[in-house]
Amino acid sequence: MLSRSAQGLYWMGRYLERAAHLSQLMQLQVETLVDRPLREIHFGWNRVYSSMNQLPPAGTLEAFGSDDYALADSYTLADHLTFEPTNPDSIWNCFAYARENARQARNYISAEMWLSLNLTFLRLQGLTIQEIWKTAPESFYAGTAKDIATFTGVAEATMYRDEGWHFIQLGRYIEQVQLSASILLSQIAAQDRQDESFDADWANLLHVFRAFDAYVHAYSVVVQPGQVLDLIVTDELLPGSMRRSLDAIASVLDAIGPGPSPDASREAASISASLCAVVRDGRNDVSAWSATLEQVNGASRKLHRQIMDAYIDYPLESLPVR
């Protein structure tokens, strides 16, 4: 496969996963505006931005002020995270980048995938925060996440399982791991700053990962932060767990095989294996997880760079002699 095509498919997977993740966060966040206390609303916005390694446009939000100001802030922040063209991580930009990468690798994806992607892109075209805010903004975010899930299902049902498929999955799972590590670290950091734990914050985190029902099934209705982290990070039965994503990365790298740069390929496989080992066992303690998640966060970014070196940005001297 041409490195440019591999790059396009890899980044398409990453951008769609990022858009889906942010849509889920935004759906939950706008739902809190109805009846949640101001502290919880501001906590949610700060967590969203922290997980994206950004600050809100006006700086960190403080848990005081009036409800009217909170609603005005939320309107501005929602616009910045959804439609702002200068924010590279806005939902609109992520989707536009994903579509452009798909266009450049059009011959590797199915006609049904291309149609699904374009239908969502057309739905987003011309929309503004004013329009979605008039009715039920949470429905817009839920619909966007559903559209991306539909695209994933269409890909699952129609795409040929060659290298193109594997690079899409690789992008998706790398993005999942990095997003998961970032939001979990921001959750822990927020708790440390507050010097206290609020059950609602951790219950909301379970909903971010669509894991609330699984938590109740595995533990109880009483939310314990250490158990929440154990479930999200280590549970091999939870679809969105970090462990499942890392295991999937290892499988995909094995399926792709060595790239034009053998050294980088071996290093990528080695990092992947070490990450899988790190998240095998639970900690049941928030402070114990912090250092582990920092390790995962750093190593997953190094893994991304090794993937780039192995399959996409490899030096010419790594190419086989003809």
pLDDT tens track of the chain, all 322 residues? 788 999 999 999 999 999 999 999 999 999 988 888 888 888 889 889 988 888 888 766 665 455 545 666 899 999 999 999 999 999 999 999 999 999 999 999 999 999 999 999 999 998 999 999 998 899 999 999 999 999 999 999 999 999 999 999 999 999 999 999 999 999 998 777 765 556 788 999 999 999 999 999 999 999 999 999 999 999 999 999 999 999 999 999 999 999 888 899 999 999 999 999 999 877 767 888 899 999 999 999 999 999 999 999 866 544 443 3
Q: Which of 81, 265, 104 has its CA nearest to residue 170?
A: 265
Q: What total number of domains does the chain contain?
A: 2
Contact between residue 170 and residue 253 where contact means Cβ atoms under 8 Å apart = yes
Are 178 and 322 found together in one domain? yes
d(CA 284, CA 230): 6
d(CA 263, CA 173): 22
Are 179 and 227 found together in one domain? yes
d(CA 125, CA 226): 42
Q: Which of 178, 243, 238, 244 has its CA nearest to residue 209?
A: 238
Are 154 and 175 found together in one domain? no
Domain that holds residue 243: 162-322
Are 147 and 223 found together in one domain? no
Are 140 and 229 found together in one domain? no
Intra-chain end-to-end CA distance of the chain, in Å:
17
DSSP 8-state assignment for residue 34: T
Are 130 and 189 found together in one domain? no
d(CA 113, CA 158): 8
